[in-house]
Amino acid sequence: NALNKSVGRDHLWIIGSDVKAIIAAGVSGNGFKMPDALAGRILRYHLIDNVRGEPDMWLPGQVKKADFTMKPLGKSKGKLLYSFKGAFTQKLSDGTRGLDGTIRGEMDLDAANNRVIRFRAYAEAQAWGDSKFTKLAPSGKFPLVVAMVEATDKIALNVPPEALGLEDEYFAPTVPVLDR
């Protein structure tokens, strides 16, 4: 299927409460758990196989592993710098669709304006199975790469994330395995 060589595009919103939580947790200079709302948003709505169309978003009980940590890297030109990494597993209860992988990234935050200045993330995973509207996935397990960067173009500023249709759940997603 030629669509399997396509690129999917979506928008992750990192909101002011995420920025505040990261800054507060990083004050000690030690590593810390990524705020649950941000980790859950990335897991359920953005670590997805969307190269063939609009996939099913992950439900809370389908997230089987989520270990996302962050580390302050210091300051540069008024920005607070952080790195993050994580390991994740998401799958249907019958095992017919899933995603298992890791993510690494960096972000620069502007504490004075409570916003993200720079964001880079790269996830590598093994995926399998079809979603309701994204049929014809490769058979068996296949590699899936998700890259994320900050977006400041007009489209990104005007087009919300696909999962925003879930309303409040997008901003505070339920992910039981994060309650560790």
* Residue 32, domain member (yes or no): yes
Reported confidence tier of residue 68, pLDDT bands at 50, 70, 90:
very high
Domain residue limits at 20 = 2-168
The whole-number average pLDDT for the span 13-24 is 94
How confident is the model over 128-138, as pLDDT tens digits? Answer: 998 887 777 77
Let me know: does 157 contact 44? Beta carbons within 8 Å: no
Rg over alpha carbons for the chain, rounded to the nearest Å, is 16
* pLDDT at residue number 1: 63
Let me know: does 146 contact 155? Beta carbons within 8 Å: no
In terms of Cα–Cα distance, which of 27, 39, 50 is closest to 125? 50
How many domains is the chain partitioned into structurally? 1
> Is pLDDT at 69 greater than 60 in this prediction?
yes
* Residue 121, domain member (yes or no): yes
Reported confidence tier of residue 2, pLDDT bands at 50, 70, 90:
low
DSSP output for 36-72 = HHHHHHIIIIISS--TTS-PPPPPGGGEEEEEEEEEE
Global pTM exceeds 0.85: yes
- Tell me the longest C-alpha to C-alpha distance in the chain: 50
* Residue 98, domain member (yes or no): yes
